[in-house]
C-alpha cells in the first residue's frame, strides 16, 4: 500500500510524509497538502466531474467517522477502490485527535464563516486553514460539489443517524440529496433556517457545495466503534468515489424523518440553567408547557406541539447555543 494511504497513522504520530505525491497502479494521484489533509485525483481520462469533500475529526474524540475515512483512503492506496471522483480527505483537529479530546481550547465547529477571525489560538488557526483547503478544492468550475462532515454525538439519540442541512439565502434544499442520504442509511434530516458557523455551513453558503453535517452514533475511543453501523454510508461513499453510484429516486423519501428548527437556546450567562436530565437523548420529545431553560430573566417554555431537543449542552461558552428545539415538518 502507498505510504500516503496511512494518513491517519501519520496524523496521530504528528509526522509529515517524506513523499508528498504518490501514484497508484491505476494512475490515481495522492497529494498530501497539510497535516490531516490529502487530495485524491483520478486519471484525467477517468474523471467523472464530481468533487467530494469528506471531513471527520473536527471533534477529536469522534473516532468512528475517522476510521471510516481511513478505510476508504486505504482502499484507494491499495488500488482496490479506483476513484473517478476528486476526493479531499480532511482530519479536522489533529491535536485533539492525539489527545482523545473533543477540542483543546475551543470548538472548531463554531469557528467557521468568519468566526475564526474574531478569535485566536490553535483551533481558530486550524478553522482558517480548513476553509482555505476546502475553497481551493472546490475552486474548479462546472463540477458537482458535495461535502459530508462526519461526526458522532456526545450523547445517545432516539434517532441514531441523522443529518443537519445548512441554510443559505436564495438556495433551495435538494430533494435528490435527501434521497441520497436516505439511501446511505440516514434516518432523519434537520433543515436549518438561518446561516450557521459550522464547517458544512461554510462550504454550503460560501463555496456552493451541497453540504451536510452527519451524526452517525455515539462518540467512542478508537477501536471501540463496533456499535456504530456505517455500512450503508460506507457503501454509498465507495460508489460516489468510484463513479458507479446506483440511481437515486428523488421522489422516494419514505422512511426519512424531516424536522425544522423551531428555536435555538442560546446561553447568555453563567446563570444559565437547562431543566433537562443530564442523560437525556437527542430527539427526546418535550411536553407542552414545560420549562426548558432559564437565564436571568429569560425563560424558555415549550410552546410547540411535537417539539424535540437535540444537542442539549449547558456547558457551552456564553453566546453559543445550548440546545436546538426542533419540530416535525414535511418536504
Any idea which residues carry the catalytic annotation? 215
Show the DSSP H helices in 191-269 as ranges: 199-207, 231-242
First to last CA, the chain: 45
What is the tally of helices (H) and strands (E) in the chain? 7, 16
Residue 291: which residues within 8 A CB-CB, separation 6 or more? 275, 299, 300, 301
Strand order in the sheet with 291-295: 273-274, 291-295, 298-301
CA 158 to chain centre: 19
d(CA 246, CA 240): 9
Residue 298, CA distances (Å) to 172, 213, 285, 317, 323 in order = 34, 30, 22, 17, 15
Q: Which three cell numbers stand for residue 252?
A: 422516494
CA 87 to chain centre: 15
d(CA 163, CA 158): 14
Q: Are 249 and 179 in contact (CB under 8 A)?
A: yes
Task: Find cell 462550504 and name the residue.
Answer: 203
Amino acid at each position: 500500500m502507498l505510504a500516503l494511504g496511512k494518513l491517519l497513522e501519520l496524523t496521530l504520530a504528528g509526522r509529515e510524509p517524506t513523499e508528498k505525491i504518490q501514484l497508484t497502479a491505476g494512475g490515481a494521484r495522492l497529494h498530501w497538502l497539510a497535516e490531516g489533509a490529502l487530495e485524491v485525483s483520478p486519471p484525467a481520462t477517468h474523471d467523472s466531474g464530481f468533487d467530494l469533500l469528506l471531513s471527520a475529526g473536527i471533534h477529536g474524540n469522534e473516532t468512528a467517522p475517522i476510521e471510516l475515512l481511513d478505510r476508504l483512503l486505504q482502499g484507494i492506496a491499495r488500488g482496490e477502490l479506483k476513484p473517478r471522483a476528486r476526493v479531499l480527505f480532511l482530519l479536522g483537529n489533529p491535536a485533539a485527535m492525539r489527545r482523545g479530546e473533543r477540542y483543546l481550547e475551543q470548538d472548531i465547529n463554531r469557528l467557521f464563516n468568519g468566526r475564526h477571525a474574531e478569535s485566536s489560538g490553535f483551533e481558530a488557526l486550524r478553522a482558517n486553514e480548513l476553509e482555505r483547503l476546502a475553497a481551493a478544492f472546490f475552486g474548479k468550475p462546472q463540477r458537482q460539489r458535495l461535502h459530508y462532515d462526519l461526526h458522532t454525538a456526545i450523547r445517545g439519540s432516539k434517532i441514531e443517524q441523522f443529518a443537519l442541512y445548512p441554510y443559505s439565502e436564495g438556495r433551495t434544499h435538494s430533494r435528490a440529496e435527501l434521497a441520497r442520504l436516505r439511501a446511505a442509511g440516514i434516518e432523519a434530516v434537520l433543515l436549518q433556517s438561518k446561516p450557521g458557523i459550522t464547517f458544512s455551513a461554510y462550504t454550503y453558503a460560501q463555496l456552493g457545495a451541497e453540504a451536510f453535517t452527519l451524526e452517525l452514533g455515539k462518540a467512542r475511543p478508537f477501536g471501540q466503534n463496533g456499535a456504530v453501523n456505517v455500512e450503508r454510508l460506507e457503501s454509498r461513499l465507495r460508489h460516489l468515489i468510484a463513479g458507479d453510484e446506483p440511481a437515486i429516486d428523488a421522489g422516494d423519501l419514505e422512511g426519512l424523518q424531516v424536522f425544522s428548527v423551531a428555536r435555538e437556546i442560546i446561553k447568555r450567562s453563567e446563570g444559565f440553567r437547562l431543566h433537562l436530565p443530564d442523560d437525556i437523548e437527542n430527539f427526546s420529545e418535550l411536553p407542552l408547557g414545560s420549562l426548558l431553560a432559564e437565564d436571568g430573566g429569560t425563560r424558555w417554555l415549550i410552546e410547540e406541539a411535537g417539539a424535540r431537543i437535540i444537542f442539549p449542552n449547558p456547558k457551552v461558552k456564553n453566546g453559543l447555543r445550548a440546545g436546538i428545539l426542533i419540530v416535525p415538518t414535511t418536504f
